[in-house]
A and B are shown apart, each in its own frame.
Chain A
Amino acid sequence: MTQLALVIDLNVCVGCHACVTNCKEWNTSGEAGPMVDQNPYGKDPTGTFFNRVQTFEVGEFPNTETVHFPKSCLHCEDPPCVPVCPTGASYKRKEDGIVLVDYEKCIGCKYCSWACPYGARELDEQQKVMKKCTLCVDRIYDTTMTEEERRPACVRACPTSARLFGDIHDPHSSVSRAIRYAHGYQLMPEWGTNPANHYLPRRKTKLRIREDELERADNPLKIDSQLPKPGKAEPSLDDVTSW
């Protein structure tokens, strides 16, 4: 069974909000739209967003680290928001595991938002229905687009490729591999919601330098010669001289 999801690399995210902006742009004009703002140029501008980038400071000054943390619906495999919906407007698709809201059925009772521990759902103040990330369901199956374009708007926008998109149930997909090799984890595992979206942790930056990167293997002008490196079995200086 397919479970589409985002894998977000906190090691790479620079907190530029491009995903937020592109998400809003695509979705306000797409199937979920319009996502109207209130007081956009006034004192307290507010509006519906599917995706937010938050910033946390980890550690104590001066040893601190800034972590940018994009947060959208995690498309839980056991979504607590779905069974509580009294109208059936909130549902999880069997074919790809995307959690969606049927805006024609939603009565705006907000009960699903109470049932989501992540605060992933936002009530649209104009349409008075609950809205949330759709994983760009109106994009990813649009065959009029090229293969490259058939990915969520946030993923397309990310300048650092901090967002990966794919099927986490397919062990060979890029997202599954990223989760496996970079120790991807889920948010608030204590509630057993089993979120599909995973986060890749901050990692120590390691220099990986291969030998041929130090020595010019092709060495076209013969300027650099091979360094005279003795073999391991050959006698060292200690063996042949007495100081």
Chain B
Amino acid sequence: MHPAFSVVFLTTLIGAGQGLFLALFTVESYAAFGLLPAQSSDFYALGSVIAVILLVLGLFASFFHLGRPERAWRSATQWRTSWLSREVIVLPAFMGMTFLYGVAHWTGFNPVIATLPSGAPINLTAVLGVIGTVLAFALYVCTGMIYACLRFLREWHTPLTVINYTLLGSASGFSLAAALAVTEAPGVMPFLTGWALIITVLGLISRSASLIRNARLKPKSSLQTAIGIKHPKIVQKTMGMMGGAFNTREFFHGQTRTMLRSIKWLFLLTTFVIPLGLLSVGLSAGTGSPGGLLALAFVVQYFGLLAERWFFFAQANHPQNLYYQSVA
């Protein structure tokens, strides 16, 4: 497939935004049960603002993918059958919930809504946070399923796609939250860095699993099934046009195999190896660590995710390509 930068930016930006929100609410939940020191609401408010900015940027990028962006509102109608439609509904809902969560923290409007049997209060932000968390995971599932549901794009048609979207988005979000915590909430910096490390390692495992799986895939379709002639040797002589068509532009990445392989190692290095190193250094340095180190970890990881997403699209080999192999 031809990687569209609009979609590369959309999926990486909203993934990081969702991860950041999950990190914020994880801290708040732990703090509510006294497992972590309570943090100032400024930390949550600032974090929510950044998360909303990431989500808005992602949504903005997605419009560049559309031929007719002015009709985008129509895309919320087919949620019964289309994962894309479901994403279109869940994304603004999650965005709104993150916004409300941030506003509640920023204004300090945080009344106790209920009390647990243990006596622990349930605040407004806890309710918003739980709904937001559900929506964040729903959004990961929707984004992943858009690709995983296409059964003949076999590189994508695996549960690993959804797992990767969830883990990689969360990893970048937790890295960002850790970088943010250096100045805003030093007390939870080691906690967030630790989780960023764990999720990045899990992401490395699941992404490696999908790379190994995809390397072993045998194509189901062949020229024989494509044109229905059962002869072992079939060569395309012309594809019916010489100047190219939508089919030759949309479904081929147009890069060499060497380039593809380089991007693969580049993203393995920048999404996983370097951030893992930087996060480990940041964690061992404790609260006194320079904030720039963790910020760098996030920046490198985000760059790596751009490469990872590019590779994700480029690697998928569409069966329609069988019909477009020869210009003459």
- Say yes or no for B228: interface residue by CB 8 A criterion: yes
B320, A201: Cβ atoms closer than 8 Å: no
* Stretch from A38-46, A163-171, A214-222, A234-242 at the B interface: A38-46
Residue of A with least CB distance to B241: A52
B74, A87: Cβ atoms closer than 8 Å: yes
A49 contact set on B, CB distance < 8 A: 240-241, 245
Neighbour of A117 across the interface among B83, B221, B239, B250, CB < 8 A: B221
Cα(A20)–Cα(B221), bound, Å: 26
* Stretch from B38-46, B49-57, B144-152, B258-266 at the A interface: B144-152
B78, A86: Cβ atoms closer than 8 Å: yes
A53, B240: Cβ atoms closer than 8 Å: yes
Per the 8 Å Cβ criterion, residues 102-154 of A in contact with B are 105-111, 113-119, 121-123, 125, 127-129
Cα(A138)–Cα(B229), bound, Å: 33
What 0/1 pattern do residues 67 to 88 of A give for CB contact below 8 A with B? 1010100000000101111111
- Nearest CB on A from B217, distance (A): 14
Cα(A100)–Cα(B321), bound, Å: 23
B237, A109: Cβ atoms closer than 8 Å: no
- Nearest CB on A from B152, distance (A): 4
- Say yes or no for B117: interface residue by CB 8 A criterion: no
- Nearest CB on B from A100, distance (A): 15
A48, B246: Cβ atoms closer than 8 Å: yes
A87, B236: Cβ atoms closer than 8 Å: no
Neighbour of B320 across the interface among A69, A106, A116, CB < 8 A: A116
A187, B82: Cβ atoms closer than 8 Å: no
B68 contact set on A, CB distance < 8 A: 106-108, 128-129
B84, A111: Cβ atoms closer than 8 Å: yes
A46, B320: Cβ atoms closer than 8 Å: no
- Nearest CB on B from A113, distance (A): 6
Residue of B with least CB distance to A40: B243
- Say yes or no for A185: interface residue by CB 8 A criterion: yes
A199 contact set on B, CB distance < 8 A: 227-228
A201, B229: Cβ atoms closer than 8 Å: yes
Tell whether A190 pairs with B225 under 8 Å between CB atoms, given A55-B238, A56-B236, A111-B84. Answer: yes
- Nearest CB on A from B210, distance (A): 18
- Nearest CB on A from B71, distance (A): 5
- Nearest CB on A from B321, distance (A): 8
Tell whether A188 pairs with B319 under 8 Å between CB atoms, given A84-B81, A87-B78, A107-B66. Answer: yes
- Say yes or no for B153: interface residue by CB 8 A criterion: yes
Tell whether A67 pairs with B229 under 8 Å between CB atoms, given A83-B81, A86-B77. Answer: yes
A59, B82: Cβ atoms closer than 8 Å: no
- Say yes or no for B226: interface residue by CB 8 A criterion: yes
Cα(A237)–Cα(B229), bound, Å: 49
Cα(A105)–Cα(B151), bound, Å: 25
- Say yes or no for A231: interface residue by CB 8 A criterion: no
- Say yes or no for B106: interface residue by CB 8 A criterion: no
Neighbour of B67 across the interface among A10, A53, A129, A186, CB < 8 A: A129
- Say yes or no for B76: interface residue by CB 8 A criterion: yes
Residue of B with least CB distance to A89: B74
Neighbour of A87 across the interface among B75, B229, B244, CB < 8 A: B75
B75, A187: Cβ atoms closer than 8 Å: no
A122, B236: Cβ atoms closer than 8 Å: no
- Nearest CB on B from A17, distance (A): 8
What 0/1 pattern do residues 152 to 168 of B give for CB contact below 8 A with A? 11000000000000000
Tell whether A119 pairs with B323 under 8 Å between CB atoms, given A46-B243, A128-B68, A201-B228. Answer: yes
Cα(A125)–Cα(B74), bound, Å: 21
Specify which of B82, B153, B234 lies most central, judged by the most chain A CB atoms within 10 Å of its CB: B82
Cα(A126)–Cα(B301), bound, Å: 38
- Say yes or no for A181: interface residue by CB 8 A criterion: no
- Nearest CB on B from A79, distance (A): 12
- Say yes or no for B324: interface residue by CB 8 A criterion: yes
Per the 8 Å Cβ criterion, residues 1-51 of A in contact with B are 10, 17, 20, 39, 43-49
Chain A residues near B (Cβ < 8 Å) = 10, 17, 20, 39, 43-49, 52-60, 66-67, 69, 71, 80, 82-89, 105-111, 113-119, 121-123, 125, 127-129, 185-191, 199, 201-202
Pairs A–B under 8 Å by Cβ, sample size 16: A17-B240, A39-B243, A54-B239, A57-B236, A60-B233, A67-B227, A71-B240, A83-B82, A86-B74, A106-B71, A107-B68, A114-B318, A117-B221, A129-B68, A187-B226, A191-B220
